[in-house]
């Protein structure tokens, strides 16, 4: 594997000195870019794009050609694991993801396989290998997965939801059954992320999109416990360097100390918590990633630059350990120019905090 020319992102996650704050964006390869929309049209649909290693590589590289980003993130979807378990993932236009065979009973859970990452999910590993080769050491590659609770939410609901009635119904009325499902999903996520690391991912992130809908007690029992289990089972060193792990729970600001105790290297923050407060609470236990409100990208470039400066100042000169990002994914209606204003502002304004 080629030598890494820019390891700023990995060093910040390990809280080592950097010359400026590294920056990347969740969903940086996405619909806000015209070149992404053109490639997706060639692929035909979203999953065909995910399953074609060359096209997945192309869309991963597109934002890096436009912006001075410090990391690439694998182009894939969090629902690849449930799909590989036989739930029949499909996408309804304007409706988001759906499953033909949602989980309804213990028998459904009993028959769920643990997918082979180099079998049913080999297309993801092929994408990782292709992207790593194409990056040629320019920046590190981030691999990722959804958290067990988040994946279980889609698997039980059968689609996106605002009420979480089916999955919370199962959690409260059949807790044993829910634990059985989460245990299987956690084992699948562990082998999936380890395969991504073996294929060339230099850092991994666990996205717990729906952990924030739980009570504090249920969050610990049904979400955090399983992410902790995954972290315990991950390959933490490869190619002669540490593989940092970032944990992100949307609306998880109240649980940062417990998240930091899992043994992860970094916490992703959404925009509902002040980054200075988060730093005070977790100290130097973990690095922090975040945390500008993605909707700020609808503002003027001047306002965007001002917000970047505010967040950098809030984090302050506490040394390294900050990866600048949005508090969630960039939205499709944002202009590429405004995304550029955000990224360039981090590049321009952060060096003074790293003297």
Residues with a catalytic annotation lie at 27, 31, 40, 77, 154
* Residues 178, 17: Cα–Cα separation, whole Å: 43
Show the tokens assigned to 13: 């996650």
The reply to whether 154 sits in an annotated binding site is yes
Q: Please tell me whether 27 is known to bind a ligand.
A: yes
Check: CB of residue 137 under 8 Å from CB of residue 2.
yes
30 in a known ligand binding site? yes
| Helix pair 301-315, 336-349: axis angle to 10 deg | 40
209 is in an annotated binding site: yes
The answer to the question of whether 77 is labelled as a binding residue is: yes
Q: Binding-site residues, please? A: 27-31, 77, 154, 209, 328
Residue ranges of the binding site for substrate: 27-31, 77, 154, 209, 328
């Amino acid at each position: 594997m080629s030598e890494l020319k820019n390891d700023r992102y990995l060093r910040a996650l390990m809280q080592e000195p950097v010359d400026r704050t590294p920056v990347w964006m969740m969903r940086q390869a996405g619909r806000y870019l015209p070149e992404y929309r053109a490639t997706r049209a060639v692929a035909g649909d979203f999953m065909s794009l995910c399953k074609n290693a060359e096209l997945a590589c192309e869309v991963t590289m597109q934002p890096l050609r436009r912006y001075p980003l410090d990391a690439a993130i694998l182009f894939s979807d969090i629902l690849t694991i449930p799909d590989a378990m036989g739930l029949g993932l499909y996408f309804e236009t304007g409706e988001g993801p759906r499953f033909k065979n949602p989980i309804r009973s213990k028998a459904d859970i009993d028959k769920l396989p643990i997918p082979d990452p180099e079998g049913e999910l080999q297309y993801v590993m092929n994408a990782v290998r292709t992207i790593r080769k194409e990056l040629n050491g320019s920046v590190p590659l981030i691999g990722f997965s959804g958290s067990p609770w988040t994946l279980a939410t889609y698997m039980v609901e059968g689609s996106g939801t605002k009420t979480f009635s089916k999955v919370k119904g199962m959690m409260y009325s059949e807790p044993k059954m829910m634990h059985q499902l989460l245990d299987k999903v956690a084992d699948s996520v562990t082998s999936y992320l380890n395969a991504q690391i073996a294929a060339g991912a230099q850092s991994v992130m666990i996205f717990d999109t729906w952990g924030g809908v739980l009570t504090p007690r249920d969050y610990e029992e049904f979400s955090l416990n399983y992410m902790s289990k995954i972290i315990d089972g991950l390959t933490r060193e490869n190619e002669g360097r540490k593989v940092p792990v970032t944990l992100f729970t949307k609306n998880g600001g109240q649980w940062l100390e417990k998240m930091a105790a899992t043994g992860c290297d970094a916490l992703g923050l959404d925009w509902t918590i002040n980054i200075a407060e988060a730093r005070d609470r977790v100290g130097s236990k973990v690095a922090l990633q975040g945390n500008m409100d993605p909707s700020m990208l609808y503002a003027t470039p001047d306002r965007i630059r001002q917000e970047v400066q505010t967040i950098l100042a809030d984090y302050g000169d506490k040394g390294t350990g900050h990866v600048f990002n949005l508090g969630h994914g960039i939205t499709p209606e944002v202009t590429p120019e405004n995304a550029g204003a955000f990224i360039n502002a981090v590049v321009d304004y952060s060096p003074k905090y790293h003297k």
